[in-house]
Homo-oligomer: A and B are copies of this chain.
Amino acid sequence: MKTGVVHEHVIEVPAASDPVLVCGLPGSGYVGKLAADHLVSSFKLRKVAEYTSSTFPPQVSVKEDGTVDPPRGELFFAPTKGGRSLFVFTADAQPTTSEGEYELSDAVVSFVRKCGVKKVYTLAAYITGSFSNSPKVYGAGTSKEMNKSLSEKGVTMMKDGGISGMNGLLIGVAALRGLEGACLLGETSGYVVDAGASKAVLEMLSKVVEMPIDTSMLKEKAEETQKVISQLQAMAEQSRETTPQPTREQRPGYIG
């Protein structure tokens, strides 16, 4: 916190083999954050760096074990069975200023670049305002080659719009530093924490990075999401009988 707004605490500079970086930060529907947390636990990744920043929200939060902590970013790592090494970056919150987002993105990208990472993937939400039983996965990459490869795997390519915050900026900063990047966005209503969208995004990521990802632990959470959605739909059905509904055109179509 002494120089600049981000402080990097390196625990280990791991020896990595053909590594990729996958990032998921808190955002709409917690799609990216849930997916990143799932990767950390299912691949039993170990923490290799921590990031504190004076641009994180000035607060502490009560964690699951009852203790409190200020927000921080965490970079995890492990080799995987297939031979490729996996870095995962996530955080408790997003920085509160543009400068904070740029500096944090820069710090993380610089670290993994030194470890040989050439491609950065971020996981995010594509908000449609309506519920879907089989969420699509949208995407956008920093090069035409990346876009071609995403498209071949079944990603629905974005035609316009933008991706705000760290989940967008991380691949932008990756490109500024000479790496390639892509964002995979799971279709979600934006109304609920959506483990189903996280599952869809991870299944697509598995194809894109050619790395098997076990999403069974997410399946249960996704089924809970589905129950919540069903209840909301039933409630909406009831109110639809008395209230005029927005047409599809009037519904929000925002990407975040």
Are A163 and B98 in contact, with the CB atoms below 8 A?
A: no
Q: Chain A contact residues: over half helix, strand or loop, or mixed?
A: mixed
How does the 8 Å CB contact mask read for A77-120 relative to B, with 1 for contact and 0 for none? 00000000000000000001111111100100000000000000
Are A169 and B70 in contact, with the CB atoms below 8 A?
A: yes
Q: Which among A59-67, A187-195, A208-216, A246-254 touches the partner chain?
A: A59-67
A198 CB-CB contact with B under 8 Å = no
A14 CB-CB contact with B under 8 Å = no
A206 CB-CB contact with B under 8 Å = no
Copy count, this protein chain: 4
Q: Which among A28-36, A140-148, A237-245 touches the partner chain?
A: A140-148
Are A172 and B55 in contact, with the CB atoms below 8 A?
A: no
CA–CA, A56 and B164, complex, Å: 12
Residues in B with CB closer than 8 Å to A97 are 98
A5 CB-CB contact with B under 8 Å = yes
CA–CA, A62 and B172, complex, Å: 11
Residues in B with CB closer than 8 Å to A61 are 161-162
Residues in B with CB closer than 8 Å to A218 are none
Residues in B with CB closer than 8 Å to A2 are 4
> Of the candidates B54, B60, B165, which one forms a contact with A163 in the assembled complex, judged by CB atoms under 8 Å apart?
B60
Residues in B with CB closer than 8 Å to A73 are none
Residues in B with CB closer than 8 Å to A183 are 60, 68
A1 CB-CB contact with B under 8 Å = yes
Known: A52-B176, A176-B52. A102 touches B67 (CB 8 A): no
CB distance from A93 to the nearest CB of B (A): 10
Please give 7 more A-B residue pairs, beta carbons under 8 A apart, in addition to A5-B99, A54-B103.
Answer: A52-B176, A60-B140, A60-B162, A60-B171, A62-B160, A67-B144, A70-B175
Name A's B-contacting residues (CB within 8 A).
Answer: 1-2, 4-5, 52, 54-62, 65-70, 96-103, 106, 140-144, 146-147, 157-166, 168-169, 171-173, 175-176, 183
Q: What would 27 A/B residue contacts be, using CB atoms closer than 8 Å?
A: A1-B103, A1-B106, A54-B103, A55-B98, A55-B99, A58-B101, A58-B164, A58-B169, A59-B162, A59-B169, A59-B172, A60-B168, A60-B169, A60-B172, A60-B183, A61-B162, A62-B161, A66-B140, A67-B141, A68-B141, A68-B163, A68-B168, A68-B171, A68-B183, A96-B98, A97-B98, A98-B100
